[in-house]
């Protein structure tokens, strides 16, 4: 195996068209976008031919979208990828420098695999949507695109270590060319069918399926009632149907038998777990994490397979979660927050590093993700001594409000009994959570630990911090406390920032100054 630097391939300037089957996937995508509005209007129209006169307009837009996609051409230039659309009424040409490309995200549905094509999204760190989407390419064309982009980005990037990680973002040209590989592909984690089933059993993803089914049932019963979507009956029909069904169930003698009630509850829990297992198998079947050079490749999906390449320097935050069932099984969940495309502005898109992994394997997994410290050796610092008192007062106030709401709805003295029984337990939980709340600064990272039953550890690199802020509410100022907010490039409306609450005011300001000095001494890298 050679270790010398290879000459990049000669740039290819010939324009390339998409795969001949591209129009099928474009038409299907446009049809999916119009499916819900079409069904809603058809249901509201009561199948009146006069109300469907807009259909030719929809067909025109579908036809225009297909023609627009078929007019797309791309060219592998010397320094950038050129994507061009050429129509009489719409022309555009986008130049995407190779050094800015951080990811070529690949999506494969069963139809993609049947036709041996892939959909490729070209992502950079400077946007919330892909810079370009090539729908679709043959697998050979994608391999050529990936190898060329990786080789040119390697040739154009500076030789310093900070920029070297960019070359691994595309999978490493050295890993894909025949002439010599300087980076080898290392499998970090794989998920078997048994692992996916275990995740479904230990997690509660069944509610995702139930919510989707509830939406379908809502639409079905709204359409069955025949009301137009602007009519109140269109929105209240499902609720009315559920209310009538519950009334008929209450009138039956079955609910008078305790065993029937227990069987109903157990049956509902079993169905939820089955839904959770089905969701996990469909989503996580074939889950695999590989490391190539200075990047990670995450692939998963049974029906629709998605592949994402993550340069290590794009990882903004790591979250290690342990839920109650995870802790009983000695398992953990590891999630990454990255910078780059998130699909919609203001929304972050976390990536699983490990949906479920043995707790003893977490340290090795984090080391493969570029974390230079061991969590077992971190010295945690407690928050303000009066944090437990504040958390207990907040918990007690919410418990009393919940009890009053329950009593006001039934107007029975027994309604206060659950509140009286739950209050001591919740106060004890608040006390333990305050003791578990802590932070640490272990170069080159800042860490936050919170939670007891649902335990989470947040890890953020100091050199990837963009904003440091200290905030205090009126309640914080009353107790002499403040909150430290550590924001990264992956933050947004949903946010992936790290917030350390219940710090003393002086402690928060001192921690802010310490971190600011560390940030100033480093070089920010996209």
Lowest mean pLDDT among 85-99, 231-245, 331-345, 360-374: 231-245
Kind and range of the H or E run holding 392: helix 387-410
Give mean pLDDT, residues 421-436: 94
Percent of all residues in the chain with a pLDDT value above 70, rounded to a whole number: 74
Residue 118 has pLDDT above 50, yes or no: yes
Percent of all residues in the chain with a pLDDT value above 90, rounded to a whole number: 40
Distance (Å, whole) CA 487 – CA 490:
8
Lowest mean pLDDT among 58-72, 441-455, 493-507: 58-72
Alpha-helical regions (H) of 55-138: 55-70, 110-115
Give mean pLDDT, residues 152-165: 55
| Contact assessment for residue 122 and residue 131, using Cβ atoms and an 8 Å cutoff | yes
**What confidence category does residue 152 fall into, taking pLDDT thresholds of 50, 70 and 90?**
confident
Distance (Å, whole) CA 20 – CA 454:
50
Task: Residue 389: count other Cβ atoms within 10 Å of its Cβ.
Answer: 14
**What confidence category does residue 38 fall into, taking pLDDT thresholds of 50, 70 and 90?**
low
Where does residue 171 fall: left (phi above 0), alpha (psi -120 to 50 degrees), or beta otherwise?
A: left
**What confidence category does residue 396 fall into, taking pLDDT thresholds of 50, 70 and 90?**
very high
**What confidence category does residue 127 fall into, taking pLDDT thresholds of 50, 70 and 90?**
low
**What confidence category does residue 412 fall into, taking pLDDT thresholds of 50, 70 and 90?**
confident
Please give the pLDDT value at position 26: 84
Please give the pLDDT value at position 169: 39
Lowest mean pLDDT among 76-85, 379-388, 434-443: 76-85
**What confidence category does residue 283 fall into, taking pLDDT thresholds of 50, 70 and 90?**
very high
Residue among 130, 220, 143 nearest 177 (CA): 143
| Contact assessment for residue 214 and residue 204, using Cβ atoms and an 8 Å cutoff | no
| Contact assessment for residue 320 and residue 332, using Cβ atoms and an 8 Å cutoff | yes
Give mean pLDDT, residues 342-369: 79
Please give the pLDDT value at position 253: 58
Comparison of pLDDT for 69 and 389, the residue scoring more = 389
**What confidence category does residue 489 fall into, taking pLDDT thresholds of 50, 70 and 90?**
confident
| Non-local CB neighbours of 444 within 8 Å, separated by 6+ positions | 372, 461, 462, 463, 518, 522
Residue 392 has pLDDT above 60, yes or no: yes
Please give the pLDDT value at position 525: 65
Kind and range of the H or E run holding 162: helix 161-167
pTM: 0.78
The mean predicted confidence, pLDDT, of the chain is 80
Chain centroid to CA 127: how far?
Answer: 16
Angstrom distances, CA of residue 420 to CA of 180, 396, 417: 71, 11, 5
Residue 210 has pLDDT above 90, yes or no: no
Please give the pLDDT value at position 162: 42
**What confidence category does residue 4 fall into, taking pLDDT thresholds of 50, 70 and 90?**
very low
Lowest mean pLDDT among 54-58, 417-421, 500-504: 54-58
| Contact assessment for residue 479 and residue 461, using Cβ atoms and an 8 Å cutoff | no
Give mean pLDDT, residues 123-137: 82
Residue 196 has pLDDT above 90, yes or no: yes
**Best-predicted range by mean pLDDT (164-178, 292-306, 504-518):** 504-518
Tell me, what DSSP letter sits at residue 182? S
Long-range contacts of 153-160 (CB under 8 A, 24+ apart): 153/98, 153/99, 153/101, 154/8, 155/8, 156/79, 156/97, 156/98, 156/99, 157/99
Residue 331 has pLDDT above 70, yes or no: yes
Angstrom distances, CA of residue 526 to CA of 362, 442, 492, 504: 26, 22, 17, 33
Largest CA distance in the chain: 83
**What confidence category does residue 183 fall into, taking pLDDT thresholds of 50, 70 and 90?**
low
Residue 364 has pLDDT above 50, yes or no: yes
Distance (Å, whole) CA 346 – CA 191:
31
Residue 224 has pLDDT above 60, yes or no: no
Residue 175 has pLDDT above 60, yes or no: no
pLDDT tens-digit readout, 243-262: 666 666 666 655 566 677 78
């Amino acid at each position: 195996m050679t270790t010398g630097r290879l000459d990049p391939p000669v740039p290819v300037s010939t324009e390339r068209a998409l795969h001949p089957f591209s129009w099928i996937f474009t038409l299907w995508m446009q049809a999916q976008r119009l499916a819900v509005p079409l069904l809603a209007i058809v249901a509201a129209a009561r199948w009146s031919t006069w109300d469907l006169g807009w259909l030719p307009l929809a067909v025109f837009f579908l036809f225009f979208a297909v023609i627009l996609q078929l007019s797309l051409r791309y060219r592998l230039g010397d320094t950038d990828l050129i994507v061009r659309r050429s129509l009489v009424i719409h022309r555009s040409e986008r130049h995407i420098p190779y050094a800015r490309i951080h990811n070529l995200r690949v999506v494969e549905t069963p139809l993609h695999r049947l036709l041996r094509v892939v959909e490729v999204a070209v992502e950079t760190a400077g946007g919330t949507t892909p810079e370009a989407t090539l729908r679709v390419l043959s697998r050979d064309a994608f391999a050529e695109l990936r190898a060329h982009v990786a080789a040119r980005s390697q040739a154009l990037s500076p030789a310093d270590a900070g920029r070297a990680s960019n070359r691994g973002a595309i999978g490493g040209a050295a890993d894909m060319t025949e002439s010599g590989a300087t980076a080898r592909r290392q499998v970090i984690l794989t998920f078997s069918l048994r692992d996916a089933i275990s995740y479904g059993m230990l997690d509660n993803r069944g509610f995702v399926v139930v919510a989707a089914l509830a939406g379908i049932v809502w639409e079905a019963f709204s359409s069955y009632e025949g009301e137009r979507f602007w009519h109140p009956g269109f929105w209240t029909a499902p609720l009315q149907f559920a209310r009538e069904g519950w009334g008929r169930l209450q009138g039956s003698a079955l609910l008078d038998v305790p065993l029937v009630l227990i069987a109903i509850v157990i049956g509902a829990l079993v169905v939820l777990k089955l839904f959770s297992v089905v969701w996990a198998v469909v989503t996580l079947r074939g889950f695999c994490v590989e490391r190539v050079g200075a990047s990670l490749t995450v692939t998963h999906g049974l029906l629709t397979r998605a592949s994402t390449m993550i340069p290590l320097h794009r990882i903004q935050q790591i979250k290690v979660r342990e839920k109650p069932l995870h802790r009983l099984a000695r398992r953990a969940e590891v999630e990454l927050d990255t910078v780059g495309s998130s699909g919609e502005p203001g929304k972050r898109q976390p990536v699983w590093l490990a949906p479920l992994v043995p707790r003893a394997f977490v340290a090795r997994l984090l080391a493969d993700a570029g974390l230079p410290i061991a969590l077992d050796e971190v010295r945690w610092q407690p928050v303000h001594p009066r944090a437990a008192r504040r958390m207990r007062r907040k918990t007690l106030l919410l418990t009393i409000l919940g009890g009053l709401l329950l009593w006001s709805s039934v107007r029975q003295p027994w309604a206060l009994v659950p509140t009286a029984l739950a209050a001591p337990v919740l106060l004890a939980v608040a006390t333990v959570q305050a003791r578990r709340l802590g932070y640490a600064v272990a170069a080159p990272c800042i860490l936050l630990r919170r939670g007891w039953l649902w335990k989470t550890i947040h890890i953020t690199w100091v050199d990837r911090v963009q904003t440091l802020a200290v905030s205090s509410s009126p309640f914080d100022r009353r107790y002499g406390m403040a909150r430290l907010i550590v924001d990264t490039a992956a933050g947004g409306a949903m946010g992936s920032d790290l917030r350390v609450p219940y710090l003393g005011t002086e402690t928060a300001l001192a921690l802010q100054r310490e971190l600011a000095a560390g940030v100033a001494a480093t070089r920010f890298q996209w």
